Structure 1
Amino acid sequence: MEKEYQDLTVDEVRDFMSSSREDAYQLVDVRQLEEYEEDHLAGAILLPVGEIEQRASELSSSKDTVVYCLSGKRSVAASVFLANHPEFSGKIYNMLGGYLEWDGHYIEDMPNIKVFDLEGSDADLLYQAMNLEKGAHKFYELVLEHFPDAPFRSVMEQLVKAEEAHAHMIYKFWEKMQPDAPSFQSVYESLDGDILEGGLEFDQLAEQLLNEGTQCQNVIEMAMAIEFSAYDLYRNMAHLYSDSPIEKHFLSLCQSEKEHMRIAAEALNHCR
């Protein structure tokens, strides 16, 4: 299933900008004010990701829009928000790698979310979806453990409560495909929650988050990346199960994950 927006590399963005009339597109920086004031791409409109849905009317709805942030994680969520806006008719482009890539500074060893395989059986796909929810659950609990006094704690508490409920909804469909299926709790406890590329363990992730500089922003960006991964998986699964009873449930999960991205985006305001 095609994305609602298109990813462009930095080089592709440069080509796009050089070949387009200035009045035909808009460049949107979705970082925080202090990041924008430190440096930004010439002509970029500042619209922090946590405010983009409420302030989308400040943008042209007919122009093509190039969205960027620092590393590319926040801009993915912003691209989803704009692409789903009912009044936007222009194309939405997400700049991969963000400002750091544009400026020639590459992020080393940042953990990446797994790309999930959609080629398996129905039961395999549902099992992967439960595993994704378990991984998100583990991540949020890890954050709460390592950042007990963080200003974004209430956000993490809100997110962690949703993951097991989502997994339970998916389990109900998975259970019907299994002879003598074990209980939900038994299945959920057995899941690895291995949602990160490269075999990065969660204690390694915690250490990395603690040593990456602006820990608040890094934590929130990772949460947004996890929620987007779930959104993308459920959107594709809804498409795979179109015109079946399960479709509406995955569309409901899509909406929920998009709301989680919005909650996480708003939490960036606590990172100042």
Structure 2
Amino acid sequence: MKKEYQDLTVAEVREFMAKTRENEYQLVDVRFLDEYEEDHLAGAILLPVDEIEERISELSSTKDTIVYCLSGRRSVAASVFIGTHPDFKGKVYNMLGGYLEWDGHYIEDMPNLKVFDMEGSDADLLYQAMNLEKGAHKFYELVLEKFPNAPFTPVMEKLVKAEEAHAHMIYKFWEKLQDNPPSFEIVYEGLPGDILEGGLNFDELAAKLMQEGTECQNVIEMAITIEFSAYDLYRNMAHLYKDTEMEKHFLSLCQSEKEHMRIAADALHHCR
């Protein structure tokens, strides 16, 4: 299955830029204007992630494109938006670690989501998908608890409802593979929602989020990462179920997760 973009390390980006003619690629900075004005990679075009789809015509549709942000979270969503645009023909590269990695700095941030094991049975994969939705649900509820009156609260409320609805849709596929399956309510209640890796469990994430001074931008970028993880999983599952009815359902879920990434990206302006 062709992916919308390819990840490149900073070293690989440096190598690519060194051996590629300047007129054959474009470098896109998807941060905010003030971040760009403070410092940016030479020759980078500023196109904030929440403006990409309405301003994509400003980019060449045939050149290869390297996308970067501060730490690599926003650029993932931006790479999907560019790579899935029907008019875009060039290759898209996401720079892992972002500008901080380029500049040799490390940011202690919220952890990445766990990598899903695509080698399990159909039922195992569906269970993992439900668990991802549960984890996202828990995270968004936690954000609402921490920021009950934040400008982005309506966005989080919308995402909370969407996650449970997605899990219910996946449950309908999962129950067909079970003998005497329990109800959705019982299954959903029992899901751990352990969406994190790197030794940090959900309780530790909750403690981190409840600390004073947690930045709005970090919270929204984590939401983008959660939605991307679901998007990527459903793309793989659609391929796994190619030419079946389930492929259509997973592609539909995939499209919804892309829309959720867009909603989260739009919410970034509340952090300025």
Q: CA deviation at 1:198?
A: 2.9
TM-score (norm. length: structure 2): 0.97
User: Is the contact made by 1:143 and 1:206 (CA closer than 8 Å) also made in structure 2?
Assistant: no
Structure 1 residue aligned with 2:21: 21
Q: CA deviation at 1:3?
A: 2.0
Partner Cα separation in structure 2 for residue 189 and residue 199 of structure 1: 23
Q: Deviations over 1:195-221 (max 9, x none)?
A: 100342334223334559661100010
Structure 2 residue aligned with 1:71: 71
- Which residues of structure 2 form unaligned runs of 5+? none
Structure 2 residue aligned with 1:202: 202
Q: After the TM superposition, which residues 80-159 of structure 1 pair with which residues of structure 2 at under 5 Å, given as runs? A: 80-108=80-108, 110-159=110-159
- Asked if residue 61 in structure 1 is aligned to residue 61 in structure 2, the reply is yes
SS in 1 for 2:116: coil
- Asked if residue 39 in structure 1 is aligned to residue 39 in structure 2, the reply is yes
Partner Cα separation in structure 1 for residue 209 and residue 34 of structure 2: 21
Q: Deviations over 1:20-63 (max 9, x none)?
A: 11111110000111111111111111100011011000111111
Structure 2 residue aligned with 1:216: 216
Q: Structure 1 158/85 Cα, relative in aligned 2: closer, same or farther at 3 Å?
A: same
TM-score (norm. length: structure 1): 0.97
- Number of residue equivalences: 272
User: Is the contact made by 1:209 and 1:218 (CA closer than 8 Å) also made in structure 2?
Assistant: no
User: Is the contact made by 1:28 and 1:46 (CA closer than 8 Å) also made in structure 2?
Assistant: yes
Q: Deviations over 1:156-197 (max 9, x none)?
A: 111111000000000001111111100000000000000100
SS in 2 for 1:52: helix
SS in 1 for 2:27: strand
Partner Cα separation in structure 1 for residue 113 and residue 104 of structure 2: 23
User: Is the contact made by 2:49 and 2:74 (CA closer than 8 Å) also made in structure 1?
Assistant: yes
SS in 1 for 2:228: helix
Partner Cα separation in structure 2 for residue 74 and residue 249 of structure 1: 27
Partner Cα separation in structure 2 for residue 213 and residue 37 of structure 1: 24
Partner Cα separation in structure 2 for residue 76 and residue 167 of structure 1: 24
Partner Cα separation in structure 2 for residue 12 and residue 48 of structure 1: 23
Q: CA deviation at 1:106?
A: 1.1
Percent of residue pairs bearing the same amino acid type:
81
